[in-house]
Chains A and B, each alone.
Chain A
Amino acid sequence: MKLSSQEMKRVLEDVRGHSEVNFNLCFQCRTCANACPFLDAMDIHPNVIMRMLQFGMGEPVLKSSTIWVCVGCNTCCDSCPMAIDIPTVMDALRQLAMEKGVAIGEPDILNFHEQMLKSVKKYGRAHKLEIMMRYKLKKKDLFQDIGLGLTMLAKRKLDLRAKKVKDIQSIESIFKK
């Protein structure tokens, strides 16, 4: 699968706004990869993702674990000499991967994001206890971390009840496409 020029444009355009993220400026200095704290959990280094994008390579990029493992901590782009907004490129790639229906590199992470946004849509706030429960239900892995969950409840780090935004319609309208 090759990314069409239209799709490349999509990735090029900053998904947050109109400003462009130009990965063609990348000259492989690898500063981003050296800085990334989660490199070990990635199958393709961030600088290599930029290179592959320059070549229009679609499938391996969209199927990679990297685009999901990236948490958007900005450590890489903060020191990139070309000021390439790498986390925003990753945002665009994740959404392109979902759109194209390719096999998701890290389904657990996508599952987490989905539960998180469900909660925000429902309450306007993130209700962590429910997010964790739903995440684990979907993963069919209710018992991993159960000890930790109990400790967090005992330490009151997880609120039992969600706090809901009063004007919930305005939140719902955000998620209405």
Chain B
Amino acid sequence: MKASLKSKENTYAYFPGCSLAASGHENNRSIYKFCEKVGIHLEELDDWNCCGSSSAHSIDSEAAALLPQRNISLAQQGLPLLVACPSCYIRMRSTHEELKSDDQAKEMYKNRWERNFDQDLEIIHFFDLLTKLDQTVIDKNMTKPLNGIRFASYYGCMLAKPPILRKDKRHTGIMEKTLKMLGAEPVSWQNFSKCCGTYLSVAKPEVTTKVVNQIMDNAIESEAECLVTACAMCHLNLEIRCSLKQQIPTFHFSELLCIAFGVDDHKKWFKRHLVDPVPLLKEKGLV
């Protein structure tokens, strides 16, 4: 891994977020395992809290600003902060940007958290690590090429940014590019960036089911054998809210990376999937 991201000996502070830490153990584990494999050390942010997600935003704007602020204040100076959940990532990045441009807010930050605001804190997403993944790392670690497994890369809303982050780089195509280097075959399809419905899955399940079915249907139509996500919430919604007779398995992106790199911890992860991916993996000679 090229060390062009500012980090001490490839060490990153790590923020999993509630989704990964609780319902998405397989996503969390596979990110850890993958990083271990490529020589990246993750240090979980000590005593991190929920970013407030969409609920704080919806009904309590003050909490929506302060919850991510607390996490930012816990970050160790000089270590980039790796955020696994796309939604937490947007909340933390937006909060950081807002603070950067507002001196009064910086002063309040300092008083509340008893710490200076770190203007230079780098908040990065897992995808930012992957942009550093070059052929040499792949050649060194790949033990099981993915044997042409046909996948639909599903980004959900993570490619979309609020205006305050408009200048941020986009990660369009990164899952396709990486998995292709690992021997899988991307399909081209339409619904790759359709939002999964997030929490409407609880409050309006019928709305989520409709969207999830469109996503699944479109992936199958484009002859994908599986869907690949990078968000624990998308992963969950695709699995629990799809009501179609025919369904293909969903992987978290890092699970497939781990398979290609021969991480053998994965048997535990697949038991947690609602649509069993093992038959497909067997067919491809990957387990």
The chain B residue sitting closest to A127, CB to CB, is B22
Cα distance A92–B205 in the bound complex, in angstroms? 25
Contacts of B18 in A (CB 8 A): 125-126, 128
Cβ-neighbour of A108 out of B66, B161, B204 (below 8 A):
B204
In whole angstroms, what is the CA distance A159 to B19 when docked? 11
**How far in angstroms is the closest Cβ of chain B from A67?**
9
In the complex, chain B residues whose CB is within 8 Å of the CB of A74: 90, 157, 160-162
Q: Are A109 and B204 in contact (CB under 8 A)?
A: yes
Q: B-facing mask of A131-143, CB < 8 A → 1, else 0? A: 1100100000000
Top 3 A-B pairs ranked by shortest CB distance? A73-B195, A73-B157, A78-B160
- On whether the beta carbons of B202 and A112 are closer than 8 Å, the reply is yes
**B56 an interface residue at 8 Å Cβ cutoff?**
yes
Q: CA of A157 to CA of B22 in the docked complex: distance in angstroms?
A: 7
Tell yes or no: A85 within 8 A of B by CB: yes
Q: Are A120 and B50 in contact (CB under 8 A)?
A: yes
- The distance in angstroms between the C-alpha atoms of A41 and B66, with both chains bound, is 31
A88 to B211, CA, bound (A): 23
Query: Which B residues lie at the A interface, using CB under 8 A?
Result: 18, 21-25, 47-50, 52-67, 70, 90, 94-95, 98, 101-102, 104-105, 112, 156-157, 159-164, 166, 193-195, 197-200, 202-205, 207, 210-211, 236, 240, 271-274
How close is B168's CB to chain A, nearest CB, in angstroms? 11
User: In the complex, which residues 133-177 of chain A have their Cβ closer than 8 Å to any Cβ of chain B?
Assistant: 135, 145, 148, 151-152, 155-159, 163, 165-167, 170-171, 173-175, 177
Residue in contact with A91 in the complex, picked from B58, B90, B210, CB distance below 8 Å: B58
Whether, in the assembled complex, A31 has its beta carbon less than 8 Å from a beta carbon of chain B, the answer is no
Please measure, in the bound complex, the distance between the C-alpha atom of A96 and the C-alpha atom of B163, giving whole angstroms. Answer: 22
Contact residues in B for A127 (Cβ distance below 8 Å): 22
What are the residues of chain B within 8 A of A109 when measuring CB–CB?
A: 200, 203-204
